[in-house]
Amino acid sequence: MAAPPKSRIVAIYPGSFDPITNGHLDLISRGSKLADHLIVAVLENRRKQSLFSVDERVEMLREVVKPFANVEVGCFHGLLVDYVAERGANFIIRGIRAISDYEYELQIAHMNRRLSPGVETVFLMAAEAYSFVSSQLVKEVASLGGNVSEFVPPLIEEHLKNRVSKRN
């Protein structure tokens, strides 16, 4: 008698990724080992002023996640739990850098579970080297002419330099 087919574990790592940082990439790398298929999902947040368009962020992400065979890049708007259901995901991955992140992410995880009782959230602690890095901080340093090469992949650094030089 053949063994039943193994169920496929699908995770979603949502965020704005404006821009993607090495901290995000670290979580993608680690998350790709926890799931058979990881979907990195860019949130279309029309209320937030972004440096890069959703299409630009998706394209940049697709380039930098190429080394991960089981990672896909997508985008969504609206409720994350609806996207989770649409994609048949088993859980959400969220990164935690500090206690303040945990407090915020815990509220979101509880709300997601209340809206969709089967949705679980897995928190991954940021690697120590990236525990202080945020997209917002990287954008600020880049806009002031600072070196962000240790915080973002080379492709993203190039896009940042081009974008902030046009704004200044």
User: Annotated catalytic sites, by residue?
Assistant: 24, 48, 97, 135
- Are the C-beta atoms of 14 and 81 separated by less than 8 Å? no
* Alpha helices, H only, the chain: 22-32, 54-64, 80-87, 99-115, 135-143, 154-167
- Give the H or E element holding residue 93: strand 91-96
Cis? peptide before 67, omega within 30° of 0 = no
Tokens of 59: 């394209």
Alpha-carbon distance of 150 to 144, in angstroms, equals 16
